[in-house]
Amino acid sequence: MRDYQNIINGIYEKAINQSEKGTVATYIPELAKVDIANFGIHLRTINNTCFGIGEYDTLFSIQSISKVLSLAYAMSLVGEAIWKRVDVEPSGHPFNQLALLEVENGIPRNPFINSGAIVIADILLSHLDDPKTDFLNFVRQLCDDDSINYNETVALSEKQTGFKNVSAANLLKSFKNLENDIDAVLDFYFHQCSIEMTCSQLTKVFYFLANNGCCLQNKLHLTNSQVKRINALMLTCGFYDEAGEFAFEVGLPGKSGVGGGIVALLPDNFIITTWSPGLNKKGNSLLGMQALEAFTTQTKQSIF
Ligand code: GLN
């Protein structure tokens, strides 16, 4: 086994001593309160050996990382029918871009931009009896950890300021690509984004995507082909208009969130999560991107 602990220690030391750390997201007021000095890395290998450094056991808002989990859940319930309502092309645009929806008749470019995730939320609402509870249970089951929860304050904070998401939902509704009540869909969406997890919980939750659909509790959630599709979408669409840059620098399927988390994985090998709340101009964690670039370069472990 490579000397992973030594490698992440070195990356951590360099990162925390760097003065340029990016900017904490402020458009969701609750997120602006997070201390920019936090930095954690957690790595879980496919045989469940773990390595961590820094704040890898501190809870943070997973935000858009949740879009991978809602997609996985929707795929397990609905299968291929999803792709009639959302496309699979990189957007090359920021996560809250609305313009493309108009030219594309209300079909979001992919499930990881906000409009796409709102459609996935709508699909879940149509198929679940108690959507918020059922989704939380799905995530808890993947992690074997019932302590995982929504942060109601963050969900409310976004509800009060999420005007672009309200616009996206209205636009989708006007194109008849939302089945449920707009407020109910957005309430679910804001809650899924507000889930809090630690880096070590996230490497556990994402384990099934590195392990052909089978989670650490040995339950099969998705088929090989569904896992292939989600990993492909993470590679091509996981970082909005910086997806090309992430593939170029890091070379792994991954997903970021404006809470400063990034999860990336190498199928059959490992899952790695970084958390540093300072974001770059495209809304991705600045130190996280750098740390993952250093990690795949030093270990020579990427899909390329
Ligand atoms: N909840 C955030 C939003 O909808 C998620 C964005 C993100 O993490 N990129 O704006």
ipTM entry: 0.97
**Of 239, 290, 192, 236, whose CA–CA distance to 89 is shortest?**
236
86 catalytic? Reply is no
Q: Residues 261, 167, 233, CA angle at the centre, nearest 5°?
A: 40
Per-residue pLDDT reduced to its tens digit, 49-59? 999 999 999 99
73 catalytic? Reply is no
Q: How far apart are CA 69 and CA 61, in angstroms?
A: 14
114 lines ligand 1 (CB under 6 A): yes
15 lines ligand 1 (CB under 6 A): no
240 catalytic? Reply is yes
Q: How far apart are CA 263 and CA 281, in angstroms?
A: 19
Mean predicted lDDT score pLDDT of the chain: 96
Q: What is the pTM of this model?
A: 0.97
- Point out the least confidently predicted range of 35-39, 152-156, 240-244, 288-292: 240-244
Choose the catalytic residue: 240, 256, 276, 285. 240
For 262-302, what is the HEC assignment? EEEEECCCEEEEEECCEECCCCCEHHHHHHHHHHHHHHCCC
DSSP 8-state code for residue 124: H
Q: Is residue 195 scored above 80 in pLDDT?
A: yes
Choose the catalytic residue: 4, 12, 73, 189. 189
165 lines ligand 1 (CB under 6 A): yes
What pLDDT is recorded for position 1?
58
224 assigned to a ligand binding site: no
CATH number of 67-192: 3.40.710.10
78 assigned to a ligand binding site: no
**Of 275, 276, 278, 270, whose CA–CA distance to 296 is shortest?**
270
**Of 145, 151, 1, 128, whose CA–CA distance to 66 is shortest?**
151
Domain with CATH 3.40.710.10 in the chain: 4-63+196-299, 67-192
DSSP 8-state code for residue 81: G
Q: How far is the CA of 114 from the centre of ligand 1 (A)?
A: 7
Per-residue pLDDT reduced to its tens digit, 283-302? 999 999 999 999 999 999 99
Q: Which CATH class is domain 4-63+196-299?
A: alpha beta
**Residues 255 and 262: beta-carbon distance below 8 Å:** yes
Could you tell me how many residues make up the chain? 304
**Residues 77 and 124: beta-carbon distance below 8 Å:** yes
115 lines ligand 1 (CB under 6 A): no
240 assigned to a ligand binding site: yes
Q: How far apart are CA 250 and CA 261, in angstroms?
A: 15
Per-residue pLDDT reduced to its tens digit, 93-116? 887 778 777 778 899 999 999 999
